[in-house]
Amino acid sequence: MCLTIRPSSKTHSSFSSSSSTIATRMINCILLSVFIFLVYLLISVSRHHQSKDSLHAYFSSSDQDHSQNLTKIDHIVFGIGSSTISWPARRQYVKLWWDSQRMRGCVFLERPLSSYKNHTDSHLLPPLCVSEDTSRFRYTWRGGDRNAIRIARCVLETVRQFNSSSKEVRWYVFGDDDTIFIPENLARTLSKYDHTSWYYIGSNSEIHHQNSVFGHDMAFGGGGFALSSSLANVLARNFDSCLERYPHLYGGDSRIHACVLELGVGLSHEPGFHQQFDVRGNALGILTSHSTRPLVSLHHMAHIDPIFPNSTTFSAVRHLFSAVELDPLRIFQLSVCYDRWYSWTISVSWGYTVQIDGRHMFLRDVLRAQETFRPWQQSGGLSSVYTFNTREIHDDPCQRPVTFFMQHVSYNRDNGTITSVYKQAYQNCTYNPISSPRKIQEIRVFSTRLDPDIRQLKAPRRQCCDILPTSSTGGKIMEIGIRDCKEDELIYIHP
């Protein structure tokens, strides 16, 4: 108790002294109560901030357990299968993604390259290595190319060359000379995995028939695949003896797959590795429906139409890399938003296209790949069956979504904003100048650099976009902002 009442049997002086004592005790009691309240308040505020900090840490874009040990590009060694015939033409593609200051690896040829084919910019490319003789191995696939054995042994020869390196090797990555890698996305994707465990990572074909022939659980070599260093070293020790058992297989990737299986390891599927294009024609439909996983590789670019209009295949890929250089992890990432006034559906495939469909579409329908392409083989049957969801496109190009292709991308260092500009691809179509999306000539997309942590890479979530208010453009320019979706935000056309 703060106050004790005693019997009043004393003199007036004693009474006054007692009253003074009582008053003092009351003041002390009040002060103590205030002090206790302030302490309680401080503790509550502290706990509140700790709670907010915990939530912030939970949703934060940094992952302390993983960020300190992320796989970097210099942890990766590349083995690239090539030949003296194909290398001179395809080397320009490799030069787009190769960084000689940070990357290690080798391009394997069947024999030394003649001096007239060896250009002066070789310092910008991986070193050339001559494959070992493989004539002792049998090859029995009728009509196939026994170079498949040499390409398969790139695994063994790469590991032998680099496993004693003074610099740490976490991953060995293999591909063809026309495999185009996005190195930063490759490194970030591999960061999800523990390189000290045995991993065989890649993807298969877009065509059901190709997978049926070569394997639904095989990493197709054209899309590239990765072996953890722990697995690669064991595989290399047993590789030649394994090759003897598989003379009847077609490709090098089939042999590697068989030997990995013999070690008891299956494929860890990563959709960012693209065997594509096991299709022909216009690949826009596949690219604009890309997975939420980062784009790791592209393949067979010479077998499809240039991905940008009025361009060659190589210049189109080079143009794409102007966006890759500024925001690699966002390339091809799809965001969908709606114009409620016109009921338009707007799809932003960042760094590539913006498409406006002049009608409302549910998100699940937008995500289905438009069949702008045709099968790798025209024999019908399973060769025309894809391994992903598709939707038909209108026979009349003027009834299809209006497509805007990326013109240029720029970065504002002051506020960290990346601006990508898209211009409409010309179509000789008549349209309503008030309600048709064809009235728009240019679209500007604003975003910040996408930098997901390990948690977000393992459980990716599509980002949201908004149509921003514009003025003094006469309705000919649309501006769009891309951002993280709110916790309970849904992507649909709001009433």
H, E, C per residue of the chain: CCCCCCCCCCCHHHHHHHHHHHHHHHHHHHHHHHHHHHHHHHHHHHHHHHHHHHHHHHHCCCCHHHHCCCCCHHHEEEEEECCCCCHHHHHHHHHHHCCCCCCEEEEEECCCCCHHHCCCCHHHCCCEEECCCCCCCCCCCCCCCCHHHHHHCHHHHHHHHHCCCCCCCCEEEEEECCCEECHHHHHHHHCCCCCCCCCEEECCCCEHHHHHHHCCCCCCHHHCEEEEHHHHHHHHHHHHHHHCCCCCCCCHHHHHHHHHHHCCCCEEECCCCCCCCCEEECCHHHHCCCCCCCCCEECCHHHECCCCCCCCHHHHHHHHHHHHCCCHHHCCCEEEEEECCCCEEEEEECCCEEEEECCCCCHHHHCCEECCEEECCCCCHHHHCECCCEECCCCCHHHCCEEEEEEEEEEECCCCEEEEEEEECCCCCCCCCCCCHHHCCEEEEEEECCCCCHHHHHCCCCCEEEEECCCCCCCCEEEEEEECCCCCCCCCCCC
Give pLDDT tens digits for 110-153: 999 886 555 668 889 999 999 999 999 999 999 999 999 999 99
Q: What is the dihedral of CA 42, 48, 53, 55, to 10 degrees?
A: 170
Give pLDDT tens digits for 80-113: 999 999 999 999 999 999 999 999 999 999 999 8
**pTM of the entire structure?**
0.84
The average pLDDT across 401-411 equals 97
pLDDT at position 309: 95
pLDDT band of 165, cuts 50, 70, 90: confident
pLDDT band of 46, cuts 50, 70, 90: very low
Give pLDDT tens digits for 363-389: 999 999 999 998 877 766 666 788 889
pLDDT at position 25: 67
CA angle 201, 203, 208 (to 5 degrees): 150
Instruction: Give the domain ranges of the chain.
Output: 70-275, 332-483
Top-tier CATH class for 70-275: alpha beta
The average pLDDT across 43-58 equals 40
Give pLDDT tens digits for 287-319: 999 999 999 999 989 889 999 999 999 999 999
Does residue 153 contact residue 132 with C-beta atoms inside 8 Å? yes
The average pLDDT across 204-218 equals 87
Beta-bridge mates of residue 79: 106, 174
Least confident interval from 13-27, 184-198, 417-431? 13-27
The average pLDDT across 195-203 equals 97
Protein fold of 332-483: Cation-dependent Mannose-6-phosphate Receptor; Chain A (2.70.130)
Alpha-carbon distances, residue 159 vs 26, 169, 200, 236 (angstroms): 83, 10, 15, 7
